[in-house]
Amino acid sequence: MGTEHFDFKATFNDLDDGLEVLHRSVDRLRRATGRDADDRSLLLFETALGEIGTNVLTHGSRVRSARPVEYSLRLAGDQVVASLTDSGPPVDEQLAREMPGRDTEDGRGLAIARSLLDELGYERDGDLNRWRLVKRL
Amino acid sequence: MTLDVDTRKADNGVSVVAPTGRLDVTGAPALKDAIGELIRGGQERVVIDMEGVSFVDSMGLGSVIAALKQIRNRQGELRLAAPNQQVRVVLELTTLDRVFPYYATVEEALTGL
């Protein structure tokens, strides 16, 4: 499984379009690697990607001068690696949050993503947030 | 992608809400609206048929938690039926499987409700 080549790149601004692109990219990866719709590793990865993507597209787009989100998805050996770059405000405080209690309606997104990935990288680079999501397949 | 939500009434009078699509940040409001309408109409026994839900995120889950709280406040009951693997994984990860009894089929969920 480690020898396939897969490299997907896109930019987007809008929440609906952005999420559609993210899910479509994982579908393409699924097909490219011959995995079925129930492949657990990719399902977990897609779940984490949806959470980070939603965070980026909802918080980042509040900034009036927001530039498009840059997204890439690739295979690196037996790992799938996604990168997202956005011009939203820093998110260090949200990243530190634990999983909230069961009757809480929101605030789970980043905690879910963190627990599903092998690596969730985040760095503030000038005015940009740079995310890196890694999952072994 | 928008979430389509159909609502029907089962033979035993329980309301069955069937969303189709992604129950995520963009789809969650449609489910909230559909369940809010049922509650306003006095329906307190509800099954959400998840068979048509391809993917759930934390916001989608939040809409189900909101529905559960509203229904339990009225001494009603909410059950989830036929969640796919991704939905089950998210429920288990967040330990919400302990507050949502989920059933393999709508028929099972309707039994005894």
Report the predicted TM-score, pTM, of the whole model to 2 decimal places: 0.91
Burial class (CB in 10 A: 0-12, 13-18, 19+), B73: exposed
pLDDT for B1-29, tens place per residue? 679 999 999 999 999 999 999 999 999 99
- How far off is chain A from B58, nearest CA to CA, in Å? 6
Residue-range domains of chain B with CATH: 4-106 (3.30.750.24)
CB atoms within 10 A of CB A2: 10
- CA nearest A51 in B: which residue? B57
CA-closest candidate to residue B3, choices B18, B22, B56 = B22
Judge contact between B112 and B12, C-beta under 8 A. Answer: no
Sequential pLDDT tens for chain A (137 residues): 445 689 999 999 899 999 999 999 999 999 999 999 889 999 999 999 999 999 999 876 555 557 899 999 999 999 999 999 999 888 877 777 777 777 777 778 888 999 999 999 999 999 999 999 999 99
Distance in angstroms (rounded) separating the CA atoms of residues B113 and B80: 12
Distance in angstroms (rounded) separating the CA atoms of residues B30 and B18: 11
H/E segment holding residue B45? strand B45-49
Report ipTM for this prediction.
0.90
Distance in angstroms (rounded) separating the CA atoms of residues A87 and A130: 9
CA-closest candidate to residue A46, choices A26, A76, A64, A65 = A26
Kindly state the DSSP code that residue A107 receives in the 8-state scheme. -
Residues 6+ apart with CB under 8 A from A136: A41, A78, A79, A118
Please judge whether A105 and B65 are an interchain contact, meaning their C-beta atoms are less than 8 angstroms apart. yes
- CA nearest B56 in A: which residue? A47
Q: Is B73 on the interface with A (CB under 8 A)?
A: no
Structure tokens at A8: 């997907």
**Residue among A26, A106, A117 with most chain B CBs within 10 A, to mutate:** A106
Kindly state the DSSP code that residue B105 receives in the 8-state scheme. S
Judge contact between B62 and B29, C-beta under 8 A. Answer: no
**B26 contact residues in A (CB cutoff 8 A):** 15-16, 19
pLDDT for B40-71, tens place per residue? 999 999 999 999 999 999 999 999 999 999 99
Provide Rg for chain B, Cα atoms: 13
Residues 6+ apart with CB under 8 A from B5: B17, B18, B19, B20, B30, B31, B33, B34
**A19 contact residues in B (CB cutoff 8 A):** 1, 22, 24-26
Residue-range domains of chain A with CATH: 7-136 (3.30.565.10)
